[in-house]
Amino acid sequence: MIQVITSRNQFIYGKQLDQMFRMRHEYYVLGHGWDGLTGVDGREVDEFDDLDAVYLVSVDEFGDVAASLRLNPTTGPTLLKKFSAYADAPLPASETCWDLSRWIARPDQRRADGKRWPSNHQRELALGVLEFCQSRGADCLTMLCEARLAERIRAYGWPVEYLGAPRAYEGGKGTAVAARIDVGDHVLAQTRAKTGILSPVLYEVDAAALAMRPPATPAHDAEAVEGLVREIEPQRLRELVRLLTKSVVASTNRQTDNPDPAAALSLLAAFNRMLEVSGAGFDLAPLPAIGAPAAGTEDQTDQRRASSSGN
């Protein structure tokens, strides 16, 4: 899944943004020693990480960044415009064109066991770029990148057009090229066929919708609980919660050396307060001591023993 991070929803992605900037610092500043790049507290950030920047981030099953890239609208400042000397042709400046930069992957995600295609996270990221362009009505991308990355993208089947000849930079540290990539439904369909990923991969949180969603109020909660109580019947619900209480205590006793029943039952206490609001509160029976059998267990055990001796 590719997360779309914008200035409107970035407050949700603090962890991922921090990881992305640190990964960029490791690769560009420490690994390649590019001139003009600065790191602040181990993060690489430049003037194009502005309010208009959009980040596409591929996360793994733990929510950690596996690969990411940055997109800037060409109607504003972009990395390629800053280094326009790499281009011999005029640079696009349109609402339907975005500038792509800082495409990077975690070291374990840069290649998939020697296969021609990169890892699944990078495959999804490539599809994510195309889906993003589709969502924004974009028909082209520009980029200033390592020549080998441009050739790899061309190998995906994307129509890459060089805007100038590849040129060495910073005394031979590498070779960069300015490029334009036409995108559209046909490129997306072709990339899906090559990667084998047929389902959409892009996910964008609508921060405005989150802000407009009315928060739940105690009155709403009480009405909902009251309805459930009427369906279940108060007495049966009380018995259920007592059983859950004993289960929580028993689980706490098994999983920790120094169990804290009060902490384990804090959520249950809050639930009880909601029941009280609805008129269905219950009185908790004294809890069994940690390590001690639950109330009534000894009587049941004696009864089973007596029954067994009579058979």
Give the residue from 168, 194, 212 where a domain finishes: 212
Q: Are residues 114 and 140 in the same domain?
A: yes
Q: Which domain holds residue 226?
A: 218-306
Q: Are residues 228 and 298 in the same domain?
A: yes
The CATH number of residue 166's host domain is 3.40.630.30
Q: Are residues 117 and 37 in the same domain?
A: yes
Q: Are residues 205 and 229 in the same domain?
A: no
Q: Are residues 126 and 257 in the same domain?
A: no
Q: Are residues 265 and 289 in the same domain?
A: yes
- Is the pLDDT reported for residue 238 higher than 90? no
| pLDDT at residue 282, as a whole number | 46
Q: Which amino acid type is present at position 183?
A: V
Q: Are residues 164 and 188 in the same domain?
A: yes
Q: Which of 44-48, 50-54, 128-132, 218-222 has the lowest mean pLDDT?
A: 218-222
| 208, two tokens | 């405005």
Q: Is residue 157 in a domain? A: yes
CA dist 197 and 122 (Å) reads: 12
Q: Is residue 277 in a domain? A: yes
Give the residue from 212, 244, 261 where a domain finishes: 212
Q: Are residues 223 and 207 in the same domain?
A: no
| 149, two tokens | 């990355």
Q: How many domains does the chain have?
A: 2
Distance of CA 196 to the CA centre of its chain: 22
Q: Give tens-digit pLDDT for 146-172.
A: 999 999 899 889 999 999 999 998 887
Phi, psi at 289, each rounded to 5°: -65, 150
Q: Is residue 87 in a domain? A: yes
Q: Are residues 144 and 226 in the same domain?
A: no
The stretches of the chain forming alpha helices (DSSP H) are 14-24, 79-82, 120-136, 147-155, 185-195, 207-212, 218-232, 234-255, 261-264, 266-277, 297-310
Q: Is residue 208 in a domain? A: yes
Q: Is residue 311 in a domain? A: no
pTM across the whole model: 0.67
Give the residue from 212, 239, 257 where a domain finishes: 212
* β-strand partners of 311: none
Q: Are residues 49 and 163 in the same domain?
A: yes
Q: Give tens-digit pLDDT for 256-281.
A: 455 554 544 455 555 555 555 545 44
Q: What is the mean pLDDT of the chain?
A: 78
Q: Are residues 254 and 117 in the same domain?
A: no
Q: Are residues 190 and 139 in the same domain?
A: yes
Q: How many CB atoms lie within 10 A of CB 71?
A: 26
